[in-house]
Amino acid sequence: MKAVGFREHGGLDKLQVLDVPKPEVGDRDVLIRVRACALNHLDLWVREGLPGLKLAMPHIPGADVAGEVAAVGTDVSYPEVGVRVAVNPGLFCGECEWCAQGEQPLCPEFKILGEHVAGGYAEYVKVPARNCVELPTDFDYVEAAAAPLVFETAWRMLITRARIRPGETVLVLGAGSGVSTAAIQIAKHAGCTVFATSRSAEKLRRAKEIGADVLINSSEMEFDRAVWELTAKRGVDVVVDHVGPATFPKSLRCLTRGGRLVFCGATSGPEATFDLRRSFYRGHSILGSTMSSQKEFEDVMALVFRRKLKPVVDRAYPLESARDAQERLAKAEQFGKIVLTVA
């Protein structure tokens, strides 16, 4: 089959079109004929190499897959061959104490499709049957592939971890990212007032279109100062951060008393410095979060399928142009998801 991947870690030039064998399905797997696969920042890090990540080469990236079932393992009764599906990219053992509690992202065996195992930059990918959800008949593959990772991540952050309530104020950093476009919509859907930041006026305009109420251009003013002024020195109830040390101390300064900072990444580095005294005195919660449980994935995808939440597609590229697609993502030019289509 045709795929795009790399034989060694490195820059964009390491990505190449490959001719590799079709994956062989295990008893509980399905083989999916990929029709669309969305990019994530994770794809760039995996290509460049992550500490402790040892991959079989060549490696095929791609976490967010939509397509139709082409073959099934011997123990699989559903989905059947021909069913159109989207896939939860979080892979889990299903047997440990955390999986038994339905907290699959805490599974010690937790893996992500395309990070630890071969992903969706290909004509075919194998995934566990239990990770699939069926697409409504009129639902497009490109939109379906744009949803899973960012919507499940934002859903767990806001609904499960930060427990947002109607009437609360939620600050979402970096409005153009996939997680942010999902978080803005989920917070709005939950009845919150949404603040969004970006350095780009154009991205802020798009953020407003998908539900952001208060726009902060962080190239004009530090966002913590802006929040302090816009809330008459109260602060916001919840901050959604995925940036890390570059924003973490400011995010904490944006929080009101009893506020929650929920974060799902540390793009700008591993260590942050902040004043502990301010956070304990004001009763702040600092909540780590990653990916979602299968239940959370199914809950948020049901809202996507009912059009209550809308995947934001920046641009689609054919699979063969994966390098151009990754370059656009690396330059942070996008608003929403960049998607590969597989003919």
What is the binding site for Zn ion (CB under 5 A)? 92-93, 96, 99, 107
Among 183, 179, 185, 292, CA closest to 243 = 179
Is residue 166 helix, strand or coil?
Answer: coil
Q: Which two tokens stand for residue 284?
A: 């702040």
Whose Cβ is closer to Zn ion: residue 104's or residue 153's?
A: 104
Is residue 52 helix, strand or coil?
Answer: coil
Query: In whole angstroms, how close is the CB of 93 to Zn ion at the nearest point?
Result: 3
Sort residue 24 into left (φ over 0), alpha (ψ -120 to 50) or beta.
beta
Identity of residue 21: P
Q: Which helix (H) or strand (E) holds 70?
A: strand 64-72
* Residue whose entry in the numeric block shows the structure tokens 């964009």: 12
Query: In whole angstroms, how close is the CB of 108 to Zn ion at the nearest point?
Result: 7
Identity of residue 316: A
Query: In whole angstroms, how close is the CB of 291 to Zn ion at the nearest point?
Result: 13
Q: Which two tokens stand for residue 279?
A: 């956070």
Query: In whole angstroms, how close is the CB of 60 to Zn ion at the nearest point?
Result: 24
Whose Cβ is closer to Zn ion: residue 115's or residue 241's?
A: 115
**Residue 149: phi, psi to the nearest 5?**
-65, -45
Largest CA distance in the chain: 62
Whose Cβ is closer to Zn ion: residue 92's or residue 223's?
A: 92
Query: In whole angstroms, how close is the CB of 63 to Zn ion at the nearest point?
Result: 19
Whose Cβ is closer to Zn ion: residue 71's or residue 96's?
A: 96
Whose Cβ is closer to Zn ion: residue 46's or residue 99's?
A: 99
